Structure formats: C-alpha cells, structure tokens
Amino acid sequence: MQREPHPFARFIAILGRGKTLTRSLTIDEAEEAMAMILAGKALPEQLGAFLMLLRVKEESPAEIAGFVRAARAAIRPPSRAPRVDLDWSSYAGKGRQLPWFILSAQILARNGWRVFMHGADGHAQGRIYTGAALRALGLPVSASLDEAADRLEAVNFAYCPIDVLSPTIADMLELRPILGLRSPVHSFARMLNPLAAPCLLQGVFHPAYMALHRGAGVLLGQPRLAVFRGEGGEIERRPHKPCDVMSVVEGELGEERWPPLVAEPRQAPDGSMDLARLGVVWRGEVRDEYGEAAVWGTLAIALRALGQAADVAEAESRAKAMWLARDRSGLAAAA
C-alpha cells in the first residue's frame, strides 16, 4: 500500500535533490519548516536529515531569518515587556580563555544600558558556558522570562538559558555529539533576540558566518547589529588580533577594521581557566593585560553598535575610561 508523503518531507526534498536541483528554502518555507519542528510535527529521522542537508548546503540568510521568525513566534513572552537595549547571545562556550565578555556586559549594565543575555548551558565537553560562569561569580541565572524581566528592571542585566526560552531548540543543540557536526540551530539560536532589543551583538567563530548573520539581520529588520569573529565564537574581542566588524544601522551596511589592543601577536591558552580570576581582576587585585583589553575592547564594540561613539577611536577611549572607573566592590553586589 502506497503511503502519502509526510507533510514535512517536501522541505527535505527541496534540500536533497542533488547538485543541480537542490536550492535554499525561501524565508517563508524556512519559517514553516521550523514552525513544524517546534510544534513536534516533524519525525526524528526527518529532523536529522533536514539539519544535515542544511549543513552540507550551508544555510542562507533567508533560511536563518525564517527559522528565527518561527522560533520567536513559539517563545512565550514575559507577562510584561521590559525595555532592553542590547541582546547578547552566548552559545559557543569558552575553551581557551576565560569569559571576559561577562565583565563587559556588567559594565554596560552598571552604566545604565539594559543587557539581555541568553545562551546554552553546555553541549560540548571541556568548555565553560555562561550560566556556570555567572553562578560562579554570584550572578543570577533567570528561570523564566518573567524573572529575567524583573532583573532587567532591577539591575539592567539578565541571563536566560535556551532551555528556558525553548526546550525544543535546546534539545536540537544537544544533537551535535550525536550528529557529529554543528547545525544551523547554532546559527539561528544566536539571532533569537526574544525581547526585541533594538541592538544585537553577534560573535562567530568562522569569518564566513559574519555575512550570514548580517544578512539575516537585514531580512529580520534588525535596527542595529554588529557581528565579528569573537574568541572561541563568543562575543569577545581578541585583543592580540585585528578585528573586522560588520554592522547594520537602520538598514545601512558597514564594515570597520579595529586594531589590535596588545603588542603580543599570540596569546597562549589559559591553563587553569579559573573563573575566580574574573572577580580578582574586576576588583583590581591583579592586573591582566590580555583579560582587561578583552573586556574594554569588547565593550568598545558594544558602545559603537549602540550608537554611543562616532568612530573606533572614540569607542575605545570611552570603553577604557568606563573600565577604569568601574565600581570595584564586587560583581554580585548589584545582583
């Protein structure tokens, strides 16, 4: 007896027709496909095939934008929408250097900008993820978007794990060790911006993904966006390297090259990865040229993305001054 094709099968067929017939999904097709996945209407075999066909083909900006639209529609919003200035995604984890970017976000929050951070709490061994780092520093992790909204209003900073925002997306991220490869889920999760912040930061590991994220941002109508190759794939500037930043400001595309911040062209991996060092450096008990440059260098890119500096030099000058003027009494004091 011949069976009717499964409704989701047509999306796999579009992606798997061979070298000459395969094409990318349109933004509407991508949205419909991801909506079916998030609603549990795709079979496990179909999900694996779909993600790996996308991986081989390489995802397009329209596909990422469509996936994001579906995911946003599936996320239950907080009971009241808080004001958010900056969406900060954190899905890669850190394996070679400490997550210095957490200090950058704290400086922003303590200077009046509301920063919403979301990310994965761990799907690869040997990496430090943001949730664990925040807990080690005495900073809270929100258990719901309502809780995150309260913290944004109270202290201008909140972090929410992806399994709170979308358990299904969290489960798909956990497929990496099963499939053996990253999938487009790692790309579109970073673009979620579930609280509709007007400014979006993106850190990528592979430079080729910079244009992908910027293109998706344009299709999504993101007012302000900055994407760059970050340390370990996180939103963290590598102080010993030049940094190319792609941006979108109200539909206008831009590119800037930011100079290295330290003279040493190479940085050895941190052998201890001791999270307590973040607090020690914050309090000024020890100096760390690399770590401090990573903090204010990342902060500078954020300020530029937020429209708080006219050029690279002004952004770096202002960021360094904010770092030096920080309240050193403790990271958890304002939580």
> For residue 219, what pLDDT is reported?
98
> For residue 2, what pLDDT is reported?
61
Section 94-98 average pLDDT: 96
Section 130-156 average pLDDT: 96
Q: How many CB atoms neighbour CB 207 within 10 A?
A: 12
Share of the chain above pLDDT 70, in %: 98
Does the structural domain 9-74 have CATH classification 3.10.20.30? no
Query: How does DSSP classify residue 77?
Result: P
> For residue 20, what pLDDT is reported?
83
pLDDT at 332 over 80: no
User: Are the beta carbons of 145 and 165 closer than 8 angstroms?
Assistant: yes
> For residue 3, what pLDDT is reported?
79
pLDDT band at 333 (very low <50, low <70, confident <90, very high): low
> What is the C-alpha to C-alpha distance for residues 74 and 85, in angstroms, rounded to an integer?
22
> For residue 123, what pLDDT is reported?
62
Section 137-149 average pLDDT: 96
pLDDT at 222 over 70: yes
What is the domain partition of the chain in residue ranges? 9-74, 86-334
The C-alpha angle 152, 84, 38, rounded to 5 degrees, equals 95
pLDDT at 1 over 80: no
Does the structural domain 86-334 have CATH classification 3.40.1030.10? yes
